[in-house]
């Protein structure tokens, strides 16, 4: 075994960082063959390891944690979009029943770290968006904590607010510098183009709305901090909390065993982690801080509203000669500057085109700062661009899918480098077949039900290579049961089950005898944030590497016990067989000799291969039915075909796509945070009037994968899948709507009011 420390790169959502990585030569394995007969478990649908526990309501989420002596926190939040605190009676709150600690904006130095932003104070006396935290209370009961907020009798000096994104742009109220990336000469190309189209598109404020709100329970023991946290990133949370309280990271333990979704909104320690820990420090008691539904919709985060102008130039035959996309993005107060870079990506990377200009600006408004939301930036910009491409198809009289094929790029259009694998054309072909694309025009013939039907498509591009580091431990006991310890926090995607499939396959043990644990930083087995479609490509190679080592060790012991060379032994489905088939025994014949000893092995994620650009691809096709009398748009079917490398577990992978499609459908049809321009305050930050889809809205969703291993993702060849499925859905639906009605949506979501206006 040779271990080295090497410099390697890790990629998250296109952001490449250099990291020192522990590399073990033994961790590099030949990739498995393509999914099929050679593999027992990988590639076959496997139910979730924690399905029964979750379904029975026995899973303990952060919101369920109750500790002895625990206090309950409440947060005083700004009721207005921009103001200065004039008076705040903290003493009245301190005197209220059951109150143990009150913290005003001047009472704490503790900061938290919003996604990809510098740390900022947890409380402010100058709230610049509705919902901004001003003060904290911890009391014996949640009711007492809330009552104490009222006792503070907050008085504010109102300041003028800006919530109109375009007005902010016109007044150049920008966050950071505007950005432009270009190649060729787009101006000349547009002027010379045989055909041009121009489209203006507006996309809505979209809220992550995780089933479990942001939540933390913090507890100090001397200078050691334990936080139960509903987070996508336990290790980021550990680091951020250690920095916030000036203690070393090993004195912070973060536990995130069950998490009710995040969708990008729960990266790192969050406001809730830092605020709960500060209240716990000051009170000397454990403190629970959980957003209520209104707080979650007000301050949980959002995908931001965009206003886009897209101009395309093409030849009459349909070759793109110019792509220009200008985007104005609502940044809000704070918000991550990095988003802008991603907003420019679809124009630059989706199609082969020599003349491209993508430009964008972030407008600083008095809204909650935008943060990461499942394929942030890409979903917004591609929703615009793919509608413009559809308009071009209509103008040219070319089939929209054919137009996309015509402009397919075999290489990365930005760098000219080849891809590690791109099967976009296969995605088009399969999606067309499953959707019945050939009968698309017949759909438009008026039916007896009076509905207008249409079909639309959109392409998807995104990253998803992941990278080091990730560390995994495998321990096999005398019963030949394997315990796989990881740094995974399973935010609901089923990644622990994916790890179980990988481990069972490599170990040659039955699934039932393999148990995967994660959700705790205490073992110090690092795993990356469950974001950026990172987990499968980053962690599964380490799971496989550790399992391979454990299997090799086990085979060596088997050689001793069975008096046969380990090289002549195979382990599969819990049985040891000699290559000549003379021997066939349960593996427990060997492991039972272990007694109280165990076999232990560890594996680390090595660097990605080099030579090609790793991206994910896909195509979705939507069929919609529009009721012209009611303005209702019903999605009848969505076909989603994605190319994300090897599929480890088709069952959880399909679930991921279904979830992404539904979230994308809602982005197209119903979800929109509405802000009152007069007050600057969101008017529907609740679950009753912010319309997430219900089970009654779910269309038929047909999911398929190209399922070919990516040679550059070590060991497993699986790219990430969390984000890709949401990316093309809204554009496909908008294009289907345009096909059905002949009207191009100017703004999403396509609410009844907007549809009736368009059809009038
Ligand atoms: Mo994500 S939007 O990287 O959690």
pLDDT digits (tens, 9 = 90+) for 199-247: 999 999 999 999 999 999 999 999 999 999 999 999 999 999 999 999 9
* Number of other residues whose CB lies within 10 A of the CB of residue 522: 12
Residue 149 lies in a domain: no
- Pocket flag, ligand 1, residue 236 (CB < 6 Å): no
Residue 720 lies in a domain: yes
Residue 368 lies in a domain: no
Same-domain pairing of 710 and 652: yes
- Pocket flag, ligand 1, residue 13 (CB < 6 Å): yes
Q: What spacing in Å lies between the alpha carbon of 27 and ligand 1's midpoint?
A: 28
Same-domain pairing of 752 and 649: yes
pLDDT at 19: 86
Report pLDDT digits (tens) over 510-536: 999 999 999 999 999 999 999 999 999
Q: What spacing in Å lies between the alpha carbon of 264 and ligand 1's midpoint?
A: 4
- Pocket flag, ligand 1, residue 717 (CB < 6 Å): no
Same-domain pairing of 624 and 700: yes
Task: Please name the residues in contact with 221: beta carbons below 8 A apart, sequence gap of 6 or more.
Answer: none
Residue 328 lies in a domain: no
Structural domain harbouring 683: 412-465+609-760
- Pocket flag, ligand 1, residue 374 (CB < 6 Å): yes
Report pLDDT digits (tens) over 425-455: 999 999 999 999 999 999 999 889 999 999 9
- Pocket flag, ligand 1, residue 320 (CB < 6 Å): no
Query: Which CATH number covers residue 34?
Result: 3.30.365.10
Q: What spacing in Å lies between the alpha carbon of 210 and ligand 1's midpoint?
A: 13
Alpha-carbon Rg for the chain, nearest whole angstrom, is 27
pLDDT at 1: 63
532 CA closest ligand 1 atom index: 3
Residue 580 lies in a domain: yes
Residue 176 lies in a domain: no
Report pLDDT digits (tens) over 120-167: 999 999 999 999 999 999 999 999 999 999 999 999 999 999 999 999
**Which tokens in the block code for residue 633?**
């748009």
Residue 171 has pLDDT above 80, yes or no: yes
Report pLDDT digits (tens) over 640-690: 999 999 999 999 999 999 999 999 999 999 999 999 999 999 999 999 999
- Pocket flag, ligand 1, residue 217 (CB < 6 Å): no
- Pocket flag, ligand 1, residue 72 (CB < 6 Å): no
Tally the domains of the chain: 2
- Pocket flag, ligand 1, residue 722 (CB < 6 Å): no
Boundary-marking domain end, from 552, 577, 604: 604
Q: What spacing in Å lies between the alpha carbon of 32 and ligand 1's midpoint?
A: 29
Is 199 in a helix, a strand, or coil? strand
- Pocket flag, ligand 1, residue 231 (CB < 6 Å): no
Q: What spacing in Å lies between the alpha carbon of 405 and ligand 1's midpoint?
A: 30
Mean pLDDT of 487-503: 97
Measuring from atom 4 of ligand 1, which residue has the nearest CA? Answer: 264
- Pocket flag, ligand 1, residue 420 (CB < 6 Å): no
Q: Rounded mean pLDDT of the chain?
A: 97
Same-domain pairing of 553 and 455: no
Q: What spacing in Å lies between the alpha carbon of 339 and ligand 1's midpoint?
A: 11
Same-domain pairing of 614 and 756: yes
Element containing residue 10 per DSSP (H, E): strand 3-12
Task: Please name the residues in contact with 683: beta carbons below 8 A apart, sequence gap of 6 or more.
Answer: 674, 675, 676, 689
Same-domain pairing of 630 and 738: yes
Element containing residue 148 per DSSP (H, E): helix 142-151
**Pocket probe mutation, ligand 1, options 266, 267, 659, 725, max atoms within 8 Å of Cβ:** 267
Residue 493 lies in a domain: yes
Percentage of the chain beyond pLDDT 70 is: 100
Report pLDDT digits (tens) over 250-297: 999 999 999 999 999 999 999 999 999 999 999 999 999 999 999 999
pLDDT at 575: 97
Beta bridge partners of 704: 641
The answer to whether 603 touches 543, Cβ cutoff 8 Å, is: yes
Q: How far apart are CA 396 and CA 319, in angstroms?
A: 10
**3-state SS track over 451-520:** CEEEEEEEEEEECCCCCCCCEEEEEECCCCCEEEECCCCCCCCCHHHHHHHHHHHHHCCCHHHEEEECCE
Same-domain pairing of 549 and 614: no
Residue 146 lies in a domain: no
Same-domain pairing of 444 and 537: no
Residue 581 has pLDDT above 90, yes or no: no
Which one is predicted more confidently, 94 or 12?
94
In whole angstroms, how far apart are CA 301 and each of 29, 261, 723?
40, 13, 17
Q: How far apart are CA 724 and CA 718, in angstroms?
A: 13
Residue 11 has pLDDT above 90, yes or no: no
pLDDT at 21: 87
Percentage of the chain beyond pLDDT 90 is: 95
Boundary-marking domain end, from 573, 604, 635: 604
The answer to whether 657 touches 703, Cβ cutoff 8 Å, is: yes
Same-domain pairing of 658 and 693: yes
Q: What spacing in Å lies between the alpha carbon of 444 and ligand 1's midpoint?
A: 38
- Pocket flag, ligand 1, residue 463 (CB < 6 Å): no
Boundary-marking domain end, from 604, 628, 661: 604
Residue 177 has pLDDT above 90, yes or no: yes
Q: How far apart are CA 259 and CA 489, in angstroms?
A: 8
Which one is predicted more confidently, 11 or 568?
568
Residue 387 has pLDDT above 90, yes or no: yes
Same-domain pairing of 644 and 706: yes
Report pLDDT digits (tens) over 89-128: 999 999 999 999 999 999 999 999 999 999 999 999 999 9
Residue 343 has pLDDT above 90, yes or no: yes
In whole angstroms, how far apart are CA 75 and each of 145, 169, 289, 490?
9, 32, 9, 28
- Pocket flag, ligand 1, residue 645 (CB < 6 Å): no
Of the pLDDT bands very low, low, confident and very high (cuts 50, 70, 90), residue 9 is confident
Same-domain pairing of 616 and 511: no
Same-domain pairing of 528 and 446: no
Task: Please name the residues in contact with 20: beta carbons below 8 A apart, sequence gap of 6 or more.
Answer: 5, 6, 7, 8
């Amino acid at each position: 075994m040779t271990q080295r420390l090497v410099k390697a790169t890790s990629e998250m959502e296109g952001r490449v960082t250099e990291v020192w990585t522990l590399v073990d030569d033994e961790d590099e394995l030949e990739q498995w063959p393509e999914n099929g007969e050679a593999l027992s478990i990988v590639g076959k649908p496997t139910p979730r390891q924690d399905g029964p526990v979750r379904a029975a309501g026995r899973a303990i989420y952060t919101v369920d944690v109750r500790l002895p002596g625990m206090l309950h926190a409440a947060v005083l939040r700004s009721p207005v979009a921009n103001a200065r605190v004039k008076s705040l009676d903290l003493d009245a709150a301190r005197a209220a029943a059951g109150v143990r600690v009150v913290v005003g904006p001047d009472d704490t130095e503790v900061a938290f770290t919003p996604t990809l932003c510098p740390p900022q104070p947890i409380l402010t006396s100058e709230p610049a968006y509705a919902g901004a935290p001003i003060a904290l209370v911890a009391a014996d009961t949640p009711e007492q904590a809330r009552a104490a907020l009222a006792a503070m009798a907050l008085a504010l000096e109102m300041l003028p607010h800006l919530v109109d994104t375009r007005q902010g742009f016109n007044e150049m109220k920008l966050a950071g510098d505007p950005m432009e990336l270009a190649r060729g000469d787009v101006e000349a190309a547009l002027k010379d183009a045989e055909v041009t189209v121009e489209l203006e598109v507006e996309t809505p404020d979209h809220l992550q709305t995780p089933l479990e709100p942001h939540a933390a329970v913090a507890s100090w023991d001397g200078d050691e901090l334990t936080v139960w946290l509903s987070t996508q990133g336990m290790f980021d949370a550990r680091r951020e909390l250690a920095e916030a309280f000036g203690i070393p990271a090993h004195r912070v333990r973060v536990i995130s065993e069950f998490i009710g979704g995040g969708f990008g909104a729960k990266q790192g320690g969050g406001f809730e982690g830092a605020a709960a820990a500060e209240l716990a420090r000051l009170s000397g008691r454990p403190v629970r801080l959980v957003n209520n539904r209104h707080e979650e919709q007000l301050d949980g985060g959002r995908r931001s509203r965009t206003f886009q102008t897209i101009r395309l130039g093409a030849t009459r035959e349909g070759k793109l000669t110019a792509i220009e996309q200008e985007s104005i993005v609502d940044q809000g107060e704070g918000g991550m500057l990095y988003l802008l870079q991603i907003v420019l990506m679809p124009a630059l990377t989706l199609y082969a085109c020599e003349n491209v200009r993508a430009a964008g600006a972030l407008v600083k408004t008095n809204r909650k700062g935008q943060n990461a939301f499942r394929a942030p930036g890409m979903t917004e910009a591609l929703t615009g661009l793919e509608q413009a491409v559809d308009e071009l198809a209509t103008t040219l009289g070319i089939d929209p899918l054919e137009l996309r094929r015509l402009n397919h790029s075999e290489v990365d259009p930005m760098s000219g480098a080849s891809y590690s694998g791109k099967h976009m054309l296969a995605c088009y072909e399969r999606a067309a077949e499953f959707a019945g694309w050939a009968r698309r025009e017949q759909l438009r013939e008026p039916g007896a039900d009076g509905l207008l039907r249409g079909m639309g498509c959109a392409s998807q591009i995104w990253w998803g290579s992941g990278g080091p580091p990730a560390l995994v431990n495998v321990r096999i006991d005398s019963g030949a049961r394997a315990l796989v310890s990881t740094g995974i926090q399973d935010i609901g995607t089923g990644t622990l089950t994916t790890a179980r499939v990988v481990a069972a396959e490599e170990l040659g043990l039955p699934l039932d005898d393999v148990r995967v644990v994660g959700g705790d930083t205490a073992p110090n087995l690092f795993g990356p944030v469950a974001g950026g479609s990172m987990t499968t490509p980053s962690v599964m190679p380490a799971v496989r590497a550790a399992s391979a080592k454990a299997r090799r060790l086990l085979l060596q012991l088997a050689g001793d016990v069975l008096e046969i060379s380990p090289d002549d032994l195979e382990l599969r489905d819990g049985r040891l067989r000699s290559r000549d088939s003379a021997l066939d025994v349960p593996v427990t014949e060997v492991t039972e000799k272990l007694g109280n000893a165990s076999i232990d092995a560890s594996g680390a994620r090595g660097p990605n291969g080099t030579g090609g650009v790793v991206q994910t691809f896909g195509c979705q096709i939507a069929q919609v039915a529009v009721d012209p009398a009611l303005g209702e748009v019903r999605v009848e079917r969505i076909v989603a075909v994605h190319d994300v490398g090897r599929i480890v577990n088709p069952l959880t992978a399909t679930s991921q796509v279904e979830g992404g499609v539904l979230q994308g459908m809602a982005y197209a049809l119903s979800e929109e945070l509405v802000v009152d321009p007069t007050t600057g305050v969101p008017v529907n930050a609740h679950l009753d009037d912010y319309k997430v889809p219900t089970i009654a809205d779910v269309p038929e969703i047909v999911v398929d994968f190209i399922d070919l291993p990516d040679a550059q993702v070590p060991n497993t060849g699986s790219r990430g899948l969390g984000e890709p499925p949401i990316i093309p859905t809204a554009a496909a639906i908008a294009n289907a709507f345009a096909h059905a009605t002949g009207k191009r949506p100017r703004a999403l979501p396509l609410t009844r009011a907007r549809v009736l206006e368009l059809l009038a």
